[in-house]
Amino acid sequence: MRAMSNVLTQISWLVTVRPWLTISALLIVTVVLGAGAPLRAPLPTTEETLPQDSPVAATLQEIDALFGDAGETSVVTLLFRGEALTPDGLAQMAALVDEIVVDPDIGALLPPVDPVITPAALVQAALQLERIEGVTQAQIDAARAAPVIGDAIAAMTGTDTDGTSVAIATIRLLDTGDERVQEAERRIDVLADADEGPLRVSSISPTVVEDEYQRATEEGMAPLIGLAMLLIAALLLLFMRTISDLLLTLAGLFMALVWIIGVEGWVGPNGLSLTGPPNSLTSMVPIIMISLTVDYAIQSISHYREQRLAGEPVLSAVRIGMRNVTVPLVLAAATTIVSFLASLFSPIAIVGDFGVIAGLGVGMSLIVMLTLVPAGRTIIDRRREARGTLRPPRPISGALPGIGRAAELLGRSVARRPAPYIVVVLVVTAFLGFSARGLEAEFSIRDILPRGGSLLQDMDTLDAAVGGSTEMTSTLVRAEATETRTLLNLRDLAVAFDDEASRPQAAAGPLGVSYESLLRDWTTDSGEPGDRYDPELAALFEEASAGLELDPALMQQFLDRLEALDPAFGHLLINDPDGVDAILLQFPTYVDDPAATKAIQSDLEELWFGEDDTITATSLSIISVTVTDSITDRQTEAITTTIAVALGILAFFFWATVRQPLLAIVAVGPIVLVLISVLGTMALLGIPYTLITSMITALSIGIGVD
């Protein structure tokens, strides 16, 4: 410890003897690091945040390689408020859809199979009309009574909570993974918003939701940060009672934020490529740094004032206070940094990047406040001391009248009779710990959308009228298409999806067009509109399936013939004669239900009578749930790691200083009790255990150490 003491003495000497040099060095570093801010790369896509070993990530890559853009689709939901199932309502609906699909930027992204589904198109198909214009109310009512199409129309219509009639239409766009699909979704939203007629129209899509979130974040973050800074400034002024300390703290806070924002650019893809681009996790680092920087500043100023009150001159007070505060702050910072760096072992790249950036941020906050505040106080107070105008400092502990006296009385009472206090703490902790068992760990996009916004109202309307907004889930099946078992499994799966009671809870409807449904369509003479029945193809299939088992050779001929007749075949089945075939299944699923989304894969495995590892589902919601769960689980592990690290660091410190390592348990024990109490309080208040709250929980350990 003597070596550490010597190092601290030298640092404090340098800061106080050359304060202007210290501040100049800080300014130079701020300029250099701040120059890295323009190098910050764009945010990664949702798919890029998946764990490296995730089966969902592997499936996404396979679907993209095998089926290209057709393997993934983005769903735009058009919401029509008003009496849609009327001649005027259907005419407006059809006209809007026509305007949308003829737009070249949108039309180029429409998939080859069922790109648009609307009540108007269903009525038109049921009545076998070329155009919906001129249809009568009696004809519409007749179409609604049709056995199959009527059920589909009913599924796309409903009533809002206020009694307003609601209808929806869906438009699928090929997810090209670039700006084209996003611009197409925005264009559809503009056309829907500008549409005039008896129906009020709006749209919901992934891009619209993301734009709403980003707009609310960008527009609301500046006032929020401004308000936070004002509150911080007011509290600092309340506790410190000096403008100079307030300005030093705010200047240090500004420097620390510039440092970390610039460093993120320097170490990112456009700099040294040590980390990935900024992401939703690293964006929280500045918020973390604000609390830590203010904490470090208060600690530094408090220790300096204590030495001044003890009668020390300015230079001695700065040096002694700096030596006294550095050790506990370094211990706390080291604990927090190690806990963040443990994220490097996460399979999710953005979690590892967060650990690096957050660890750097903690270290930078500490460096700034352990140098700027002492140097600033040295410059300001030595001048006052030389002029004889230096006033006695006010202790921070006495900032609020009565607090010091109350703390003194409480401490005296605890020292005399500790048992009752220990019992109360343990009882309250036990109760809150028991309550923590019911802590929810889910995240909903609605939690971050602005309250009272039109998008949130649209989502609530969809929930009330048709069960919720939907997206398209893509499922990759690896099986031999010419085998009997594969065809039977596909048929059983289609039957299960036709029944609302047996399909997965998240599924919003039956399976879309698939290899198996194409086969039925071309080989079955149903007599329904759009029937593609081909006698020759049907005869070939009948010959291939004449026995108990499919004839592989004849079945291969059938597949070759079907592929030549139907261009959609190649978007649904990759027939590999030398390997295992790839079959793409797609079905609509409700979004904003994390529990149901998590269960999609297990539900599919129960309905699929083949091997479980031959079927894998993926969608934007599945990706989000996978990433969020992985990050939250990793942060939960980080809490345990942080506690263990804090225990180890403090044990070593107490052993090296007073030869009593067991004091570490005394120091860390209350922190554990506080964590349990925080989690229990969250459960009682209905606050879910999400990514953000898990990080705040882990961060509180480091703050507790100092």
- pLDDT tens-digit map of 529-577: 667 788 888 898 888 888 778 888 888 898 888 888 888 888 888 888 7
For 1-54+242-390, the fitting CATH number among 1.20.1540.10, 3.30.470.10, 1.20.1640.10, 1.10.15.40 is 1.20.1640.10
Q: What token pair was written down for 391? A: 């006033």
SS3 545: coil
Contact between 206 and 471 (Cβ < 8 Å):
yes
**Residue 22 or residue 639, greater confidence:** 22
Query: Which residues, in sequence order, are bridge partners of residue 478?
Result: 582
pLDDT exceeds cutoff 80 at 91: yes
Strands of 505-624, DSSP E: 573-574, 582-590, 615-618
Position 232 scores a pLDDT of: 85
425 CB-contact burial (10 Å; exposed 0-12 / middle 13-18 / buried 19+): middle
Q: What token pair was written down for 249? A: 């703290």
pLDDT exceeds cutoff 90 at 364: yes
The predicted model gives 301-329 an average pLDDT of: 88
- pLDDT grade, residue 357 (50/70/90)? very high
- pLDDT grade, residue 267 (50/70/90)? very high
Q: How far apart are CA 311 and CA 306, in angstroms?
A: 9
Query: Which residues, in sequence order, are bridge partners of residue 473?
Result: 587
Intra-chain end-to-end CA distance of the chain, in Å: 19
Return the minimum-mean-pLDDT range out of 265-269, 332-336, 555-559: 332-336
pLDDT exceeds cutoff 70 at 704: no
Q: How distant, in Å, are the alpha carbons of 55, 67, 482, 582, 612 from that of 579?
A: 20, 16, 12, 9, 19
Domain spans of the chain? 1-54+242-390, 73-210, 465-624
Strands of 494-651, DSSP E: 573-574, 582-590, 615-618
In whole angstroms, how large is the CA radius of gyration of the chain?
33
Q: For 225-262, what is each residue's pLDDT tens digit?
A: 778 788 888 888 888 888 999 999 999 999 999 999 99
> In this structure, what are the phi and psi dihedrals at residue 467, rounded to the nearest 5 degrees?
95, -10
Q: How far apart are CA 556 and CA 447, in angstroms?
A: 51
- pLDDT grade, residue 528 (50/70/90)? low
**Residue 579 or residue 221, greater confidence:** 579
- pLDDT grade, residue 33 (50/70/90)? very high
**Residue 228 or residue 83, greater confidence:** 83
Return the minimum-mean-pLDDT range out of 325-334, 491-500, 573-582, 691-700: 691-700
Strands of 429-556, DSSP E: 470-478
**Residue 617 or residue 8, greater confidence:** 617
Q: For 117-144, what is each residue's pLDDT tens digit?
A: 899 888 888 888 888 888 889 988 888 8
Position 496 scores a pLDDT of: 92
Contact between 218 and 108 (Cβ < 8 Å):
no
Position 48 scores a pLDDT of: 61
